């Protein structure tokens, strides 16, 4: 069965802390994505990666960075957390086999609160 | 980047009734996908319809796509309380490699 896991379901951090959100997929997918979801704003893409060590900015990359050292793992880093980064963070992965526009598989999400 | 616009924003129905949600968009697409999200959870892929397809079925789900009107609809027949969730359309295509652009979703509530 397809599986995307995220390191934490709930996380509380203080302003200025460095925060790591981890995502692991077991489907050998080439593509991985980080979104944030906020009420009234829907899902917005932060960063994505289409290969190991490759990354592309999404629609709202400011304040975030990512790392993909291994194919199965994609990390989102908040260098200095701020209260406006309080949100639900969703990781997803997809295959490029046959088409680059395949369906995405999502993790359960991490609800991050920055105080 | 383009975004699908969903209508209605919220829908409340009784068990056994049909639920219809619509998605409109503005530019060309490779395919359009529908996802479901139960409260506080991740999204689950429901169905993908390609730009050269007009209709697709999966169980109680029926999706239509009209590329001339740039719109899609998701029909859930004989709804159940367990269908209560948010439903999102996602657009694939254009110049964005492998990226999907999600609409803001329709909140469906099915009353037992």
The per-residue pLDDT for B96 is: 61
Single out the residue of A93, A104, A91 nearest to residue A22, CA to CA: A91
Mean pLDDT (chain B) is 93
**Inter-chain residue contact A90 with B42, CB threshold 8 Å:** yes
What's the gap between Cα A103 and its chain centre? 16
The H or E element containing residue B19 is strand B19-24
Question: Which domain range does residue B81 map to?
Answer: 5-111
A33 to chain B: which residues are within 8 Å by CB? 99
Neighbour count for residue A96 (Cβ, 10 Å): 15
User: Chain A to chain B, count of Cβ pairs less than 8 Å apart?
Assistant: 61
The angle subtended at Cα A37 by Cα B92 and Cα B9, nearest 5°, is 75
Domain assignments of chain A as residue spans, ordered by start: 4-114
Is A32's Cβ below 8 Å from some Cβ in B? Answer: no
The per-residue pLDDT for B97 is: 67
> Are the CB atoms for A47 and B106 separated by under 8 Å?
no
Is B75's Cβ below 8 Å from some Cβ in A? Answer: no
- Note the pLDDT tens digit of each residue in B82-92: 999 999 999 99
Is A63's Cβ below 8 Å from some Cβ in B? Answer: no
Which residues have C-beta within 8 Å of that of residue B9, sequence separation ≥ 6?
A: B104, B105, B106, B107
Nearest to A106 among B42, B93, B105 (CB): B42
By DSSP bridging, strand A110-114 and strand A10-13 are parallel
By DSSP bridging, strand B106-111 and strand B10-14 are parallel
Backbone angle region of A93, left / alpha / beta, with phi > 0 → left and psi within -120 to 50 → alpha: beta
Nearest to A43 among B92, B93, B102 (CB): B102
Which residues have C-beta within 8 Å of that of residue A80, sequence separation ≥ 6?
A: A16, A17, A18, A63
Of A14-23, A71-80, B95-104, the range with the lowest mean pLDDT is B95-104
Number of domains in chain B: 1
**Inter-chain residue contact B43 with A106, CB threshold 8 Å:** yes
Residue B12 has pLDDT above 90, yes or no: yes
According to the 3-state scheme, what is the secondary structure of chain A? CCCEEECCCEEEECCCCCEEEEEEECCCCCEEEEEEEECCCEEEEEEEECCCCCCEECCCCCCEEEEEEECCEEEEEECCCCHHHCEEEEEEEECCCCCCCCCCEECCCEEEEEC
Q: In CATH terms, is domain A4-114 a member of 3.40.50.300?
A: no
Is A31's Cβ below 8 Å from some Cβ in B? Answer: yes
- The CATH number for B96's domain is 2.60.40.10
- Note the pLDDT tens digit of each residue in A85-101: 999 999 999 998 777 78
The per-residue pLDDT for A102 is: 87
**Inter-chain residue contact B40 with A43, CB threshold 8 Å:** no
The per-residue pLDDT for A101 is: 81
Is B10's Cβ below 8 Å from some Cβ in A? Answer: no
């Amino acid at each position: 069965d397809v599986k995307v896991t995220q390191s934490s379901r709930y996380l509380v951090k203080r302003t200025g802390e460095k925060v790591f959100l981890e995502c692991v997929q077991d489907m050998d997918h080439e593509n991985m994505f980080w979104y944030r979801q906020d009420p009234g704003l829907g899902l917005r893409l932060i960063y994505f990666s289409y290969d190991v060590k490759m990354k592309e900015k999404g629609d709202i990359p400011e304040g975030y960075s990512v790392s993909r050292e291994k194919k199965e793992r994609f990390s989102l880093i908040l260098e200095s957390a701020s209260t406006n980064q309080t949100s639900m963070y969703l990781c997803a992965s997809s295959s490029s086999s046959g088409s680059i526009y395949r369906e995405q598989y999502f993790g359960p999400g991490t609800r991050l609160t920055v105080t | 980047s383009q975004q699908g616009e969903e209508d209605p924003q919220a829908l409340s129905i009784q068990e056994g009734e049909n639920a219809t949600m619509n998605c409109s968009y503005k530019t060309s697409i490779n395919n359009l996908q529908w996802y479901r999200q139960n409260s506080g959870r991740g999204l689950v892929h429901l169905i993908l319809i390609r730009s050269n397809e007009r209709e697709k079925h999966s169980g109680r789900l029926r999706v239509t796509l009209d590329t001339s009107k740039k719109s899609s609809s998701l029909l859930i027949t004989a709804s159940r309380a367990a269908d209560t969730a948010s439903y999102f359309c996602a657009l694939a295509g254009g110049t964005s490699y492998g990226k999907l652009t999600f609409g803001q979703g329709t909140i469906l509530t099915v009353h037992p």
